[in-house]
Chains A and B, each alone.
Chain A
């Protein structure tokens, strides 16, 4: 193995060759439904990676099952399309074994919050160096239209013909509840915002969680259009920018302020700009960010997008590797003969 990777390491010293979108595009025909929001996410990624000066051979996309999970087939990188829900687990093993790789995890709301919810929260808890993109379209697409764990209460679907009984997960709240060190939201109608958000995720050391609001034009068309359509965005998307007061609306007439019951939307003229909350991604206690995540009754009311939280914390894989290095520094590399003789022995 060492030889194989040495070949790569030698190249490491060289300048990263300039690449274009075409270099990151595989020869496979994209098979999402025409008009699917996944296309714009794929384009954003294929345009971003050349800008990041990433290496294709060092980039791996790991996915679960669902429409979103077909993503790796279309990237000219290494990729594994695994099984439903388990992508964060497979990616964790890969990231631990190979800290030199950039590992992206792609999945949908059913994949990562239903069948794979356990793996998602534990990957985030451990802070494994993964870029996790959850394409949230609030529906099961590949199985043709059942409600998902992010579908709104009352939603009529094939498996809830008289309306969905249970309340949905808010993916941002779940990630913050797991104390993820990087949590962000973007949407498929704004390529620049996606690229800016993915770039931040890529640069983050540890688990980076990004919810991408994504339209399923076949089974849940327009579910986010009330907030993401161009003509409503100003009033319905609350852009979070670190160090800036949280303002939105065509005249920046609305703001967000901290009230005793949590974060609320306020009229800036009434409250005064000095009382509007200044966004701070780096607050270690996740409570403020969590409160921000609760403002929106997605997708009907103003919804924050951008980076909710970005803090530094020890990354899991490198901490595990450091323990191994520490032991090896103390004891030297293990000797098999010594291991076999490490219990009491006797001679015959």
Chain B
């Protein structure tokens, strides 16, 4: 076999600097798996990459329909990239519905690889075609490669004793083999993976292997030689890399925070898309002493996390927007109790059930203001899938060192998207110092030692005495309490003092200054937060490569905001804020700094492309040039 399926980049294949491939098919066609395997092979080969999985909310939408189309877009390159690409160069369409739903995303002149076997009456009708697009002019202007993938897969499996129905399920590996050939991907990783994954199902392993090899061989035998290219390794910083998605990185970050603080990790959670994978991942890591509690509802999940935190664990709850809404009252309790708590919100399209499997970043206002009373909490946001690791540690660090609930914002795009991640050295991670009270901190009228749970230190933080600590018994609660003693107090003056103290202690949490990427002296400043980092960074690079000036500030800390942000905003003529909402950060910036921060909004359940932001930047720069300086 090895002589026909050459693993290395073919010496004769011409090199391209990048390619964007979109695998699209029915939910049952295994497109997520196919994309994931192609990604892993590319990552291990040494490309830089970014991915965008897109799948329907239904587990099995009616087969063959537009509603059932599942797609996986991957961008691979020989240089540093930050997005899964504006428009695919190649569309792999496993059925007519996939072609109909995703053809418009393809670049003009792009390549369509389709499974010809599925372009028959029944599937065409399900996709809503009244004709066969292969015969019409739908595909004019594209390079079309028609492959009878189902037939060839079944033929390849015939000798193995695999039932035709089972063989049909392996056609995604045929597509993977063909694409692996076209882009000169190494094949060992994929073949090894098949061995391990289907170790106890030899027939399935054999069928997938045969399909993969058949697809790979097809490239050569069908004289697709002119299509074959190579995407060389990217000059990544030396180190050990793994390909990581946001939810896995976030889970590992929480485990790391537990190790760095020496506190056991307690996760209270309730299943919700797209956050459930964090619950799944952490449930696997009992070797780290992680306790996962799948609660009866979102409220119990946060309640249990608060209880565990009160007992001395690192209390965490993970959810998506609707769950945060349900947890609001308990978060108010944690604000009042001044207990550490990490609330992870993997945002999705809303309101209500909205678009559970699609991305949006419209929970910032809820994170900032979505609780009763004056109840400020620190907010941090991850910018890339791998960054979710750092942000999880940062959220835990703030929670534990400032005794407060912290909201961590991620989104569906980061959660499921992946990128190569240079692994940090564990020794370089900064420990989190947690101090619990063990002694009296005050003397009563009789000269006896007493413990005051709300006696504040220089950072306005109160001491935490864990239950079990001798002599420091005390009561805390959601009723307003007297500063210092912590006793129930309805005094007007005390309440005003406490409202101000709770505000001040959060507002004065030190956060790093915002850093400017691009041209500090540019007329136009782009301010972003969260997962728009990739698209903004890509756009800013293109603008600057074209010789125009633009500056970019990306916020990790959204509450409190960096101290230098106001000056940065005021030092540019125009400020634009790309957001996957109708203008939430931009409104905060306007309110806080009285600057005319303009929203660039996208709420399609999909991330921005770099091209969209590039276009908007160019428009603004043209206007600024027109205005003169």
Tell me the A residues contacting B by CB distance below 8 Å: 1-5, 7-8, 11, 26, 28, 56-58, 60, 62, 65, 72-73, 75-83, 86, 89-98, 100-101, 118-119, 122, 320-321, 323-324, 327-328, 331-334, 336-337, 339-341, 343-348
Contact with A along B282-300 (1 / 0, CB 8 A): 0001111111010111011
State how many residues of chain B have any CB contact under 8 Å with chain A: 78
Contact with A along B301-318 (1 / 0, CB 8 A): 001111111111101000
Contact B263 A1 (CB under 8 A): yes
Given contacts A340-B424, A341-B240, 17 further A-B contacts (CB under 8 A): A8-B470, A28-B488, A58-B468, A80-B307, A80-B310, A80-B476, A81-B477, A86-B300, A93-B309, A94-B307, A94-B311, A118-B296, A334-B287, A339-B255, A340-B252, A345-B242, A348-B422
Contacts A2-B262, A80-B310, A89-B295 given; indicate if A118 touches B256 (C-beta within 8 A).
Answer: no
Contact A5 B312 (CB under 8 A): yes
What are the residues of chain B within 8 A of A345 when measuring CB–CB?
240-242, 423
What are the residues of chain A within 8 A of B237 when measuring CB–CB?
348
What are the residues of chain B within 8 A of A91 when measuring CB–CB?
307
Contact A333 B287 (CB under 8 A): yes
Nearest CB of chain A from residue B350's CB, rounded to whole Å: 24
Contact with A along B36-73 (1 / 0, CB 8 A): 00001001101000000000000000000000000000
Q: State A86–B330 Cα separation when bound (angstroms).
A: 9
Contact B291 A96 (CB under 8 A): yes
Nearest CB of chain A from residue B269's CB, rounded to whole Å: 12
Contacts A7-B470, A339-B285 given; indicate if A119 touches B436 (C-beta within 8 A).
Answer: no
Contact B238 A348 (CB under 8 A): yes
Q: State A90–B306 Cα separation when bound (angstroms).
A: 6
Residue of A nearest to B249 (CB): A340
Contact A72 B300 (CB under 8 A): no
Contact A346 B44 (CB under 8 A): yes
Contact B44 A86 (CB under 8 A): no
Contact B289 A62 (CB under 8 A): no
Contacts A93-B311, A94-B311, A323-B286 given; indicate if A80 touches B436 (C-beta within 8 A).
Answer: no
Q: State A183–B252 Cα separation when bound (angstroms).
A: 42
Contact A348 B426 (CB under 8 A): no
Q: Is B147 an interface residue (CB 8 A)?
A: no
Contact B468 A93 (CB under 8 A): no
What are the residues of chain A within 8 A of B244 when measuring CB–CB?
343
What are the residues of chain A within 8 A of B189 when measuring CB–CB?
344
Q: State A324–B283 Cα separation when bound (angstroms).
A: 10
Q: Is B239 an interface residue (CB 8 A)?
A: yes
Contact B468 A101 (CB under 8 A): yes
Q: Is B434 an interface residue (CB 8 A)?
A: yes
Q: State A38–B268 Cα separation when bound (angstroms).
A: 33
Q: State A72–B264 Cα separation when bound (angstroms).
A: 27
Q: State A28–B299 Cα separation when bound (angstroms).
A: 30
Selected A-B contacts with CB under 8 Å, 13 pairs: A4-B438, A57-B473, A65-B478, A73-B475, A79-B477, A83-B329, A86-B300, A94-B308, A119-B300, A339-B255, A343-B242, A344-B40, A345-B241
Contact B467 A57 (CB under 8 A): yes
Selected contact of A327 from candidates B240, B268, B286, CB within 8 Å: B286
Contact B307 A62 (CB under 8 A): yes
What are the residues of chain B within 8 A of A56 when measuring CB–CB?
473
Contact A93 B315 (CB under 8 A): yes
Contacts A337-B426, A348-B239 given; indicate if A26 touches B475 (C-beta within 8 A).
Answer: yes
What are the residues of chain B within 8 A of A1 when measuring CB–CB?
262-263, 312, 434, 436, 466
What are the residues of chain B within 8 A of A86 when measuring CB–CB?
299-300, 303, 330
Contacts A58-B468, A345-B242 given; indicate if A78 touches B304 (C-beta within 8 A).
Answer: no
Residue of A nearest to B189 (CB): A344
Contact B475 A79 (CB under 8 A): yes
Q: Is B175 an interface residue (CB 8 A)?
A: no
What are the residues of chain A within 8 A of B466 when measuring CB–CB?
1, 4-5
Q: Is B537 an interface residue (CB 8 A)?
A: no
Q: B401-460: which have CB < 8 Å to A?
A: 422-424, 426, 429, 434, 436, 438
Contact B241 A346 (CB under 8 A): yes
Contact B289 A328 (CB under 8 A): yes
Q: For the complex, would chain B's binding face be called helix, strand, loop or mixed by DSSP majority? A: mixed
What are the residues of chain A within 8 A of B311 when measuring CB–CB?
93-94, 97-98, 101
Report which residue of B46, B244, B438, B473 has the largest number of chain A beta carbons within 10 angstroms of its beta carbon: B473
Nearest CB of chain A from residue B316's CB, rounded to whole Å: 11
Q: Is B337 an interface residue (CB 8 A)?
A: yes
Nearest CB of chain B from residue A98's CB, rounded to whole Å: 4
What are the residues of chain B within 8 A of A96 when measuring CB–CB?
266, 291, 293, 304, 307-308
What are the residues of chain B within 8 A of A65 when measuring CB–CB?
478
Nearest CB of chain A from residue B509's CB, rounded to whole Å: 22
Q: Is B166 an interface residue (CB 8 A)?
A: no
What are the residues of chain A within 8 A of B473 when measuring CB–CB?
56-57, 76-78
What are the residues of chain A within 8 A of B242 when measuring CB–CB?
340-341, 343-346
Q: State A73–B300 Cα separation when bound (angstroms).
A: 23
Q: State A320–B308 Cα separation when bound (angstroms).
A: 14
Q: State A337–B429 Cα separation when bound (angstroms).
A: 11
Residue of A nearest to B424 (CB): A340
Q: State A146–B343 Cα separation when bound (angstroms).
A: 35
Nearest CB of chain A from residue B66's CB, rounded to whole Å: 34
Selected contact of A82 from candidates B241, B297, B303, B423, CB within 8 Å: B303
Nearest CB of chain B from residue A95's CB, rounded to whole Å: 8
Contacts A336-B255, A341-B423 given; indicate if A98 touches B241 (C-beta within 8 A).
Answer: no
Report which residue of B189, B248, B424, B468 has the largest number of chain A beta carbons within 10 angstroms of its beta carbon: B468
Q: Is B479 an interface residue (CB 8 A)?
A: yes
What are the residues of chain B within 8 A of A83 when measuring CB–CB?
329-330, 332-333, 478
The 5 closest A-B pairs by CB, nearest first: A81-B477, A93-B307, A93-B304, A89-B303, A334-B288
Q: State A89–B294 Cα separation when bound (angstroms).
A: 12
What are the residues of chain B within 8 A of A332 when measuring CB–CB?
287
Contacts A79-B476, A93-B303 given; indicate if A119 touches B296 (C-beta within 8 A).
Answer: yes
Residue of B nearest to A121 (CB): B296
What are the residues of chain B within 8 A of A122 when measuring CB–CB?
295-296, 300
Selected contact of A4 from candidates B424, B469, B478, CB within 8 Å: B469
Q: State A2–B236 Cα separation when bound (angstroms).
A: 42
Q: B231-282: which have CB < 8 Å to A?
A: 236-244, 248, 252, 255-256, 259, 262-264, 266, 268
Q: State A240–B434 Cα separation when bound (angstroms).
A: 50
Contacts A4-B438, A328-B287, A348-B239 given; indicate if A57 touches B471 (C-beta within 8 A).
Answer: yes
Q: Is B590 an interface residue (CB 8 A)?
A: no
Nearest CB of chain A from residue B186's CB, rounded to whole Å: 11
Selected contact of A336 from candidates B259, B295, B305, CB within 8 Å: B259
Contact A94 B310 (CB under 8 A): yes
Report which residue of B287, B299, B309 has the largest number of chain A beta carbons within 10 angstroms of its beta carbon: B287
Q: Is B182 an interface residue (CB 8 A)?
A: no
Q: Is B474 an interface residue (CB 8 A)?
A: yes
Q: Is B472 an interface residue (CB 8 A)?
A: yes
Q: Is B487 an interface residue (CB 8 A)?
A: yes
What are the residues of chain B within 8 A of A80 when measuring CB–CB?
307, 310, 337, 475-477
Selected contact of B487 from candidates A2, A28, A324, A346, CB within 8 Å: A28
Q: B602-622: which have CB < 8 Å to A?
A: none
Contact B287 A331 (CB under 8 A): yes
Nearest CB of chain B from residue A348's CB, rounded to whole Å: 5
Nearest CB of chain B from residue A84's CB, rounded to whole Å: 8
Q: State A139–B223 Cα separation when bound (angstroms).
A: 83
Selected contact of B291 from candidates A2, A97, A328, A344, CB within 8 Å: A97
What are the residues of chain A within 8 A of B426 when measuring CB–CB?
336-337, 340
Residue of B nearest to A126 (CB): B296
